[in-house]
Amino acid sequence: MAFLALDHVNKRFGDHIAVEDFTLSVKKGEFISLLGPSGCGKTTTLQMIAGFVDPTAGSIHLEGRDLLSTKPAQRGLGIVFQSYALFPHMTASENIAFGLEMRGIARAEREGKVRDALAMVGLDGYGDRYPRRMSGGQQQRVALARALVIKPDVLLLDEPLSNLDAKLREDMQIELRQIQRNLGTTTVLVTHDQTEAMALSDRIVVMSKGRIEQIGTPQETYERPASAFVSQFLGKTNEFPAEIRLSDGAQKLIFGSCEWQAPAGPSGPVTVTVRPEKVGFASPKSDSLKGRVVSRIFQGNHWLFQCETECGPAIVVRQNNGEPQPEEGETVSLIWRKDDMGLRRAGESR
């Protein structure tokens, strides 16, 4: 039995469908990210788990217990909001102790748990500080400690890192993942940041227009996107128009001047997809795509090339290994491994 289970959950606001037929089983201790653009239904889904929004249809169970018949305060959940929602008139220690006090934990025990929580998030010695005297990263840690100190069955995170600058956000991702692994707390994160979702998650739920597009590990969703939306939302993807047709008695995949052996399936138009970092430069040959470097950008540990090819524009990302790189205006041949290429037939989402 799943630890947390959402079964055919739907939510309508009048004529607007916010979430449609959402089904997900979460294992105990798993870190799940709900990933998608604004308006895709991810926050509404989190709010339905928390009890702030009632589903129009469907069921939500935690360890077999019906959450929809349970008041939000009694669901045993810890929540960290985007705004952190700290009490400004309380110190860090008082903010963390609030949930324990509401549960009737004795003062001496509360104080010990608060000290442990502050240490867990690296804030030893900050217990007497008020939120206004703390940085954004420190406030985020207090909010996380407040949510975890009650030992919730599930930790819900609503874009908690989005207000931090890029370097601090990256540091907090590492710390958050380490804390979650150490405690083994089942966690559901809402984010629109694909890098964050891939860095933190055991599995990612990619959403679009209220529906699930794909559920999989970060590697699965990136390497084997289930739809054109997932392919474009998770990083960048080159897409080239192509055709599968019979040539010299065999099925061939043809794009530009390239001819590759085609996979099994019907003939007709297809789209070839390949990630920019999977593309390399090669000497001209029959299985390479001819092109020209339009621009190149040095980004420290890698080069970003924009190319114009016989099948349209392409992006190539190459690691900076110290070797000479093609110049702007130079003619190039693009090559990649067959296993790194995806095919999407006309009329298919995959």
pLDDT at 249: 75
The residue behind tokens 């114009």 is 308
Q: Which residues pair with 206 in a beta bridge?
A: 35, 214
In the predicted model, residues of the chain with pLDDT beneath 70 are: 1, 286, 346-350
Task: Report the C-alpha gap between 200 and 174 in whole angstroms.
Answer: 8
CA–CA dist 334, 291 (Å, integer): 7
pLDDT for the residue 259: 84
Coil, strand or helix: which one is 279? coil
Sheet holding 4-13, edge to edge: 16-26, 4-13, 57-62, 65-66
pLDDT in tens, 147-184: 999 999 999 999 988 877 888 888 888 889 999 999 99
Q: How far apart are CA 75 and CA 153, in angstroms?
A: 8
pLDDT of residue 346: 66
Sign of CA dihedral 54, 55, 57, 60: negative
Thinking of the domain 238-345, which architecture would CATH place it in?
A: Beta Barrel (2.40)
pTM of the model: 0.85
pLDDT, tens digit (0-9, with 9 covering 90-100), for 77-128: 999 988 878 999 999 999 999 999 988 999 999 999 999 999 999 899 999 9
Tokens of 293: 């470097």
**Domain layout of the chain by residue ranges:** 4-233, 238-345
Helix-helix angle 166-183:136-148, to 10 degrees? 20
Q: Tell me, what's the pLDDT at 347?
A: 57
Closest CA to 68 of 82, 85, 55, 87: 55
Quote the pLDDT of residue 350.
Answer: 42
The pLDDT, as a whole number, for residue 257 is 83
- Domain 4-233 matching CATH 3.40.50.300: the answer reads yes
DSSP helix/strand/coil, 191: strand
